[in-house]
Amino acid sequence: MTWKEEDNNKSSQYIDWIRGFYNSMAPFVSSGPRAAFVNYMYFDLGVMKLVSTSVQPEDAVEIARLWGEKYFLKNYDRLVRVKTLIDPNNVFRNQQGIPPNSQTVTKQRNKE
């Protein structure tokens, strides 16, 4: 969602409108599974703080499952495994990204 800079003071009004629209459409969309459009970040689904000391790394995969399964449906666990192999240090991240499984990373490091 975008708006002109001079309308920044109306941002909460615009966000409330889109939330209302989203909620009014809920009865007309698939109810199983509920899904999200992958090219739009639905912050109402939840976000991962990019720098967070309150979230243990082993909990990140389960926290991200809230939105991960809505965006990627049954592919979420497979994408976590790929993320763990390709980017175990979570260098490429965003607020609704897929985190690596830190338990798997720890096990791999212990084997080395």
Q: Which amino acid is at 82?
A: V
Q: What is the pTM of this model?
A: 0.58
Query: Which one, of 49, 42, 31, lies nearest residue 68 by Cα?
Result: 42
Check if 14 is active-site: no
pLDDT in tens, 18-67: 888 878 877 776 655 566 666 677 777 777 775 555 556 668 899 899 88
Task: Quickly tell me which residue has 């459409």 as its tokens.
Answer: 25
User: Which residue among the candidates 40, 42, 71, 76 is catalytic per the annotation?
Assistant: 40
